[in-house]
Amino acid sequence: AQSVAQPEDQVNVAEGNPLTVKCTYSVSGNPYLFWYVQYPNRGLQFLLKYITGDNLVKGSYGFEAEFNKSQTSFHLKKPSALVSDSALYFCAVRKAAGNKLTFGGGTRVLVKP
Amino acid sequence: KAGVTQTPRYLIKTRGQQVTLSCSPISGHRSVSWYQQTPGQGLQFLFEYFSETQRNKGNFPGRFSGRQFSNSRSEMNVSTLELGDSALYLCASSITGTQADFSYEQYFGPGTRLTVT
């Protein structure tokens, strides 16, 4: 079975400070990893993905994520957070060989001015 | 390109009734997936369709079913509604080029909020 853990229900950060949202996964075989963001009353928006290659992946809106195979982690980062980054963030994993997309429980990010 | 559209956006049903939700994927996308989002259970995968065939299924009872048409539009049906079926139902599409390619990201619609009373 595959699973995703987002250990923090909420992350608070001051505007301009670095933002990190943690994600660890468990899956057999090679993983495909994704980050999505959800704003109130909206569907999920795709931020970035790791399929293969460079462990540092750059995505939309200045976000990036680092794939660490030994720690089975895929943490989302942004060097300088904006108030508009306040939203619900989801990490997801899928087996390369084909399976359902499994989401973590989500982390609410609150960026204070 | 237009995004993923879902209809209706809001729905109120009574326990025991059935409901059909509709999803139109992004033009050219052949894969459509459905998810249930609730505060308690989070995002849970329902099923995925590719070229009118269900290729993945989550752990939901048989009351939940779906189908995909030749134009890639998809519907999901929930029969004999229960109070616990109240949720935001999200549809997502991806461009998946082949049956064996699972690397493409999914694009989500705004969801249908179903309330069962």
* Interface residue of B23, B43, B90 to substitute, partner A, most A CBs within 10 Å: B43
CB contact under 8 A, B90 and A44: yes
Q: How many residues does chain B have?
A: 117
Q: Which two tokens stand for residue A3?
A: 């699973």
The pLDDT of residue B53 is above 80: yes
Determine contact, residues A90/A106, Cβ cutoff 8 Å: yes
If you ran DSSP here, which 8-state letter would residue B71 be given? T
Q: Give A-chain residues touching B43 at CB under 8 angstroms.
A: 90, 103, 106
Query: What percent of chain B is predicted at pLDDT more than 90?
Result: 78
Residues 72-101 of B with CB under 8 A from A: 90, 92, 100
The pLDDT tens digits of the residues spanning A26-44 come to: 988 888 999 999 998 788 9
Mean pLDDT of chain B: 93
Beta-carbon count within 10 A of A24 CB: 18
Rounded Cα gap, residues A31 and B60, in angstroms: 24
A34 to chain B, any CB pair closer than 8 A? The answer is yes
Selecting from A46, A105, A106 the residue whose C-beta is nearest the C-beta of B107 gives: A46
pLDDT for res B55: 85
Backbone φ/ψ region at B112: left (φ over 0), alpha (ψ -120 to 50), beta: beta
The pLDDT of residue B54 is above 80: yes
Q: How far is B12 from chain A (nearest CA, A)?
A: 17
What would the DSSP string read from start to end of B27-49? Answer: TT--EEEEEEEETTTEEEEEEEE
The pLDDT tens digits of the residues spanning B75-115 come to: 999 999 999 999 999 999 998 766 667 778 899 999 999 99
Q: Taking the CA atoms of chain A, what radius of gyration do you get in angstroms?
A: 13
pLDDT below 50 — which residues of chain A? Answer: none
Cis peptide before B61 (omega within 30 of 0): no
Determine contact, residues A33/A45, Cβ cutoff 8 Å: no
pLDDT for res B3: 93
What is the β-pairing status of strands A31-38 and A102-103?
unpaired
Find the mean pLDDT for residues B15-39.
95
Determine contact, residues A93/A25, Cβ cutoff 8 Å: yes
pLDDT for res A98: 61
Q: Give A-chain residues touching B33 at CB under 8 angstroms.
A: 101
